Structure 1
Amino acid sequence: MSWTVNSIKVESRSGSTSLSIFANGRMQAPVYVLLEARKDGKPYQLTSNDLTRVKITNYHTDEPLSGSFRYSSTDLGYTAPFPSSSKSDKTVDESHEQAEDRLISAYQTHTLYVFSTQIGDIRIGASILQPDNVLVTTRSGSNDSSIYIDAKPRPYYTLDDVKFEREDTADGAIHGSIGSFPVSLKWDQDNYYLTSKKYPFKMASVYGTQQNGQGEVGKQHCYAIVEDNTVTNWCFVWPMGSAQSKKVGSATSAIGEAYANIRVNQKGEHVLTVTRWKIQGKMAAWPPVWSYWCYFDIYDIYGNEKRFYLDRSDRHNLLHLKENQPWSQAAVSDNGLPLDGHSLEAGFEPVPLGPDGTPDLEALGMKPSA
């Protein structure tokens, strides 16, 4: 005998029958479908294959959601409770774990996620098709349950809605040698922190950086290495996350391995960190080098996104945030990333040599330590 469903209901995380989401195609309302099944007269746990028969429906028609309102079994990570200052919505802040404990205690719970790409509203329910082709829905008898979902206009970000703050973060020196000459290279770190004045940021998709550093650990997430007289400015955009130490520098510099450990993401997980790291020595001391324009799409905790561009002045010594693209289409290289004109893509400059065949310190912008 095949299994049957005695009960099917829908509930929200908070128990509320009315929810709001932003109509951005990413924010999701978790919908708990509570099921009670039996087989051969005994309680039956539906398998993952059985659960594919569960559909989120238009409550009034029993038709699976389609059009601007849709659902998925995948949590995209944008399920934070809709922002509200009213006391009546306090229950929306109930933790995911608390809600699941309450629901799972009585039913088998299957979670699906509703989202919308357009402004509008809908009353949703659920259905499951039994193996005997009987459709059981949340409109039938004691199963009657539904959730009203209102997809509201998404907010749009401008420069007025964010802060991009520069910090004089740290300085230090890297010690090495060229031939018999000891060399001490001073470095200076400025971090820039991007925060939201509206809703906390969650993640960013960054373009222009060399995420793997073209094989160099110390150049991971770097988008520019640009010469400024006798020093070189390196620019990084770091993945958002908790505070951590990052190794910057090169294994192939004119003095061999030359690394420093710097701190990033000190302002918390909801802040994007950009770093300008200045080190003594011209570009020829740090092959390979590259220089791209950098931009990113940043998303808040509700999935609302904004594209920002990083501009620069004083040969990348100072960094600036822009809303508009600061380069022409002609700057886009074969790999789809826009070169910013300061150096050749993955350029290798020859290291100047002195009369004795060792690297010319003065030409590299370096001096022997006293």
Structure 2
Amino acid sequence: MTSAINWEVTDFKIQGNDFVLFSNGRMQVPANVLIRAVNPVDSSVYTLTAAELARIQLIDYYVPGRELADGWKYTATENDFAHTMPGVKSAGHEENDVKNEQSKRYWVSTTKVETKLIGTRIQQPNGIWITTHSDHYDSHVTLRGSAAVHYNMNNVEFTREDTDQGNDWDQDNYYLTSKVHPFKKSELSGYHSPNHPNLGMRNAMKFWGGPGTGKRSTFTHYIWEMGPTTRVDRGLTHYDDGSGTHKPHKVNMVINERPYAMCFTRLSIKGYPGYSQNWWYNSWLRILDIYGNSGDFNLPRVSHNHLELTSRNTVSVAGSPDDVVFCDDHIPEGDLMPHGHC
């Protein structure tokens, strides 16, 4: 490593509160590194550039020779999940009052249920590594990974509401809520996108009522992003190529009426035989609470008239109903199953 100025560290430490965090790979807690450096030629204060500060690494205090790893990660980017455990008051940001001291804040996460002492290190331009586990500098923060919450049908509620109706249509909203910690966001797979050319079928997962089914009504199941209460226009407005129907039927529906909840809708409209072939997606979702704990759920095609939710890919491990899902697992694209028979 080379530098225009051969600076050297004169003070180096890591500080922060001793935190507990969920071992879900998403919850983050802060660790602050403080550093001072000088130009060894004349002992003048040297101010590290942003690029030089970014070379600061976090380490296992007991393994100072390599960067933090083995289920522990850190980043300079803060996410939007809570940074303190339930019932713990936020500690706030520590102030840096020492003259000429610079700071670098990192956010640490883990997938391990264990206690870890976190130190830090930086390599000077002369190639020497400076660590906080040495005779000159000795500091660490203690972090403890606590078992993550995994959501399944035992710790959530899935409820139906008679939301609204008209002369020839009926709307039921369904809500997925947590029995543990409030839900924050979701990742969805297997549905018509919010930009689908068929306005009335945007966010739709399943459709019943095609020719030959014997149904005198159409039934559409929708899935919604979490958010504030709003109204959307859906129904039999267009065909899938975006062209208008000969007899459009638009319903202005209210959704997301519950806070911290995932919303779904079953919409039935009478008197539209032959509008479309039946189709459905193999839809599923990942729900995340305010701490980053998660659970995966399927929305199987069981009935045209109601929605059903089941835990996804459940495996019994040591008496636990489900495997824990960590943040590095990604949801694949949903599979569209057109012209199905349900």
TM value normalised by structure 1: 0.72
- After TM superposition, the structure 1 = structure 2 runs for residues 177-256 of structure 1, keeping only pairs within 5 Å, are 186-212=168-194, 214-227=196-209, 229-249=215-235, 250-252=237-239, 253-255=244-246
- One-letter code aligned to 2:55: R
Conserved? CA contact 1:191–1:273, under 8 Å: yes
1:274 match: 264
Q: 1:82 aligns with which of 69, 82, 85?
A: 85
Structure 2 unpaired stretches of 5+: 314-332
Structure 1 unpaired stretches of 5+: 174-185, 326-334, 345-370
- The 3 A distance-change label for structure 1 pair 140 and 220 is same
Q: 1:265 aligns with which of 243, 246, 256?
A: 256
- Deviation (angstroms), 1:33: 2.0
- Deviation (angstroms), 1:157: 2.7
Conserved? CA contact 1:291–1:339, under 8 Å: yes
1:318 match: 306
Q: Please give the alpha-carbon distance, in whole angstroms, between the structure 2 residues aligned to 1:35 and 1:19.
A: 22
- Deviation (angstroms), 1:238: 0.7
- One-letter code aligned to 1:10: I
Conserved? CA contact 1:69–1:117, under 8 Å: yes
Specify which structure has the bigger relative contact order, considering alpha-carbon pairs within 8 angstroms and separated by 6 or more residues: 2
Q: Does residue 129 in structure 1 map to residue 115 in structure 2?
A: no
- Deviation (angstroms), 1:115: 2.4
1:44 match: 47
Q: Please give the alpha-carbon distance, in whole angstroms, between the structure 1 residues aligned to 2:247 and 2:6.
A: 71
1:300 match: 289
Q: How big is the alpha-carbon RMSD for the aligned residues of Structure 1 and Structure 2? A: 3.1
- Deviation digits for residues 127-170 of structure 1 (CA, Å, limit 9, x no counterpart): 12222323232235675321111122223333221111111122
Conserved? CA contact 1:209–1:221, under 8 Å: yes
* Count of matched residue pairs: 305
1:21 match: 21
- Deviation digits for residues 322-344 of structure 1 (CA, Å, limit 9, x no counterpart): 2257xxxxxxxxx8616397459
State which structure, 1 or 2, has the greater radius of gyration over its C-alpha atoms: 1
- The 3 A distance-change label for structure 1 pair 80 and 271 is farther
Q: 2:75 aligns with which of 65, 72, 75?
A: 72
Q: Please give the alpha-carbon distance, in whole angstroms, between the structure 2 residues aligned to 1:123 and 1:204.
A: 32
Q: Please give the alpha-carbon distance, in whole angstroms, between the structure 1 residues aligned to 2:97 and 2:49.
A: 14
- Deviation (angstroms), 1:291: 1.6
Between Structure 1 and Structure 2, the one with more helix by share is 1
Instruction: Give SS of 1:53's match.
Output: coil
Identity rate, percent: 29
Conserved? CA contact 2:181–2:290, under 8 Å: yes
